[in-house]
Chains A and B, each alone.
Chain A
């Protein structure tokens, strides 16, 4: 990794376009080449994550939301990127030093795809996440009391589970835990008012939007 100044925006944009193109054509070898080029361009692995991987995944997430890409393409982009990051870059999460505790979970369901995509996106952006797997409302509140995360990310597939976020919020409040809750999943996408109705602090319309939301949270924590 070269210790050099940050490349200009035109080069960064070109790199992002090249990387996205390789992902969309599911060309793992070419994607690796672009990522190795990125590694030599940026000063740190975290910059590779923040300036190349995360923006590309966010662009792809937006394209899915607008009907220009399929979920299967997002899935494959995540799979390829995770494999390459493991091979090319050092563990990104460790490079952030002491980070806030961010807990990610699926609320009361057996269908984990959305949560897995969020987990993958955050990992590729170099954001460490605690995986709480599948939890009920009571389990979530009990674990939050014990582990005191700084941020809770909830993925919900069914409306019923999404409405239970309100019970989570109330349970946390009763316990005196002012932990913000960010939510995502189909019910929140089809009902844009739902996240506020259930007392969440923010909503991601797609899995990769979690990068933007959580990065904003981290920045605010840093400034504070």
Chain B
């Protein structure tokens, strides 16, 4: 590391302050790949925080990653509501059958206690181990599902969408419980060792509901929740579109927004880049087919669109690198960021003129 080289934390903090760091930070987020790295079945891997921590530290070194992902699997939150996580050999765990069926079921719900649920406790242990492993130089990132998006697992998407569109008032008790859980779960992660949280809200995206619906339902909840989370957050729409709600997203108090690969990164930078850090927007599924040239082109496109002036973190648009993405692609991404992400980005004007 040269004397001018920032630590990952310094790089990320400069970016979040909308300043240019030494290079564009990279948040590369392999999860299930850790099981292969550690040579264990996925189920065992996700049940052993020390293995996840070890794999994440390996990935950080290999890919020059600027964060450690203190995340296990999304269905862990669903388990806290009595649901099952389904484990596979070569894919992230998925949520099992819904546990809520009608609004009558909401009356029987209570806010789960974090300490009662092994899956949540394992995630906290993971974050504590990551913190101990890297000290204060690398941000540890945690994840929470928004109170409005968790019902996709709790109720199943068809039943949830029906209530959301036809009996929205019936969902209020569920949202209230989810809101309390979300705040408690977020703050538990910050206490355990996470530095920042990703607030996953795919249902709030313009892909799923109309912008007016986001303003009416999701934005007020996000504003309340984010105000009670005792650390920085970034809002993630899990590859859903957000351009038409960006101004509202800014007003929720979030510390960043993760942009879909479906969207024009430059347009989003122009719209809110002076107020909100932007993360994105590599397409993880498409990565499966990238060669070295295409990888470099994708990285350059993203940096050229949103990197100038700082306030940009390169990452995938879904929050998880698919299992089938070859390791060489992740290495090419890291090499491309190292080559093309160094500030000042003197090559960008010529690149834009050509493309």
Contact = CB atoms under 8 A, between A and B. Distances in A.
Interface stretch (A96-104, A123-131, A176-184, A187-195): A187-195
A116 B160 CA distance: 13
Interface residues of B, number: 39
Contacts of B92: 158
Q: Which of A163, A190, A193, A194 has the most CB of B within 10 A?
A: A190
Given A159-B285, A190-B286, A113 B90 contact: no
Nearest to B157: A113
A220 interface: no
B272 to A, nearest CB: 17
B160 to A, nearest CB: 9
A187 B283 CA distance: 11
A73 B158 contact: no
Interface in B159-197: 161-162, 164-166
A158 B94 CA distance: 9
B158 A110 contact: no
Given A67-B207, A67-B241, A110-B96, A160 B91 contact: yes
A143 interface: no
A95 interface: no
Contacts of A70: 206-210, 213
Contacts of B213: 70, 72
A191 B241 contact: no
B127 interface: no
A123 B162 CA distance: 19
B233 to A, nearest CB: 24
Contact of A71 (B95, B166, B208, B239): B208
A157 to B, nearest CB: 8
Interface string B305-341: 0000000000000000011100000000000000000
Interface string B115-158: 00000000000000000000000000000000000001000111
B289 interface: yes
Interface string B278-313: 000001111011000000000000000000000000
A2 to B, nearest CB: 34
Contacts, number: 79
Nearest to B153: A111
Given A110-B96, A111-B152, A73 B324 contact: no
Interface of A is mostly: helix
A160 B285 contact: no
A181 B97 CA distance: 26
A193 B324 contact: no
Contacts of B324: 159, 163
B5 interface: no
A190 B324 CA distance: 14
A75 B165 contact: yes
B156 A111 contact: yes
Contacts of A144: none
A207 to B, nearest CB: 12
Nearest to B208: A71
A160 B165 contact: no
B41 interface: no
Interface string A24-42: 0000000000000000000
A164 to B, nearest CB: 10
Interface in B89-108: 90-92, 94-98
A194 B263 CA distance: 21
B88 interface: yes
A119 to B, nearest CB: 11
A72 B90 CA distance: 32
A76 interface: yes
A194 B208 contact: no
A173 B96 CA distance: 31
Contacts of B284: 190
A161 to B, nearest CB: 8
A110 B95 contact: yes
Interface string A64-84: 100100111101100100000
Interface of A: 64, 67, 70-73, 75-76, 79, 109-113, 116, 158-160, 163, 186-187, 190-191, 193-194
13 contacts: A64-B207, A72-B161, A79-B166, A111-B152, A111-B157, A112-B157, A158-B92, A159-B285, A160-B90, A190-B239, A190-B261, A190-B285, A190-B286
Interface of B: 88, 90-92, 94-98, 152, 156-158, 161-162, 164-166, 206-210, 213, 239, 241, 243, 261-263, 283-286, 288-289, 322-324
Which 9 A-B pairs give the minimum distances between C-beta atoms?
A160-B91, A191-B285, A113-B157, A190-B285, A72-B209, A70-B210, A71-B208, A113-B158, A67-B241
